[in-house]
Amino acid sequence: MNLAQFTHITEEHVRWGDCDMLGHVNNTLFLRYIESARIAYIEEVMHSDLLPGAQVGWVIADLHCNFRGQLHYPAKLETGSRITRVGSSSATIEAAIFANGEPAPVFTSTAVIVWCDYQEGKSLRIPDRIREAIRGHEGDVEGL
């Protein structure tokens, strides 16, 4: 797996406060990094409204992660994201974090996100405008 396989890239830097007493980035921060990348993908590619008070939107139904290496301060991070499958009401988004231009990721994840009505707590069909936005950005994706 390499960064070129991803269609959406976000950049950030490890902050001094991201590190724990052992001097490496705390494991919970990896999830924050991919959260930032996922939100950027949703906003920039899907043009979805994530503002407080929205009636519908994405929730995470399933998340798997794999720690492949350590991160230390300072480090420049590039997080790649891509949608690999679209169902009726859900989509699978993969992410990988690459550090300091290295070819192998230090962290990978796969998440299933579900389009839902927040008040009802029920899944909804992903709107056609979002399906088209994903297709326009990703090209061929399973389920589209």
Residue 143 inside a domain? The answer is: no
Looking at residue 19, the DSSP 8-state letter turns out to be: B
Count the domains in the chain. 1
Q: How far apart are CA 14 and CA 33, in angstroms?
A: 9
* Confidence bin at 54 (pLDDT 50/70/90): confident
Q: How far apart are CA 31 and CA 25, in angstroms?
A: 11
**Is 50's pLDDT higher than 80?**
no
Q: How far apart are CA 10 and CA 20, in angstroms?
A: 24
Q: How far is CA 20 from CA 24, 59, 85, 90, 107, in A?
A: 6, 29, 36, 35, 17
Q: Please answer whether residues 128 and 24 qualify as being in contact, where contact means their C-beta atoms are separated by less than 8 angstroms.
A: no
Residue 47 inside a domain? The answer is: yes
* pLDDT tens-digit readout, 110-120: 999 999 999 99
DSSP string, 80-144: EEEEEEE-SSEEEEEEEEEETT-SS-SEEEEEEEEEEETTTTEE-PPPHHHHHHHHHHHSS-BT-
The CATH number of whichever domain residue 65 belongs to comes to 3.10.129.10
Looking at residue 5, the DSSP 8-state letter turns out to be: G
Residue 130 inside a domain? The answer is: yes
Residue 52: the pLDDT is 77
Residue 144 inside a domain? The answer is: no
Q: Could you tell me the pTM of the whole model? A: 0.95
SS3 49: coil
Q: Quote the domain boundaries for residue 102.
A: 3-138
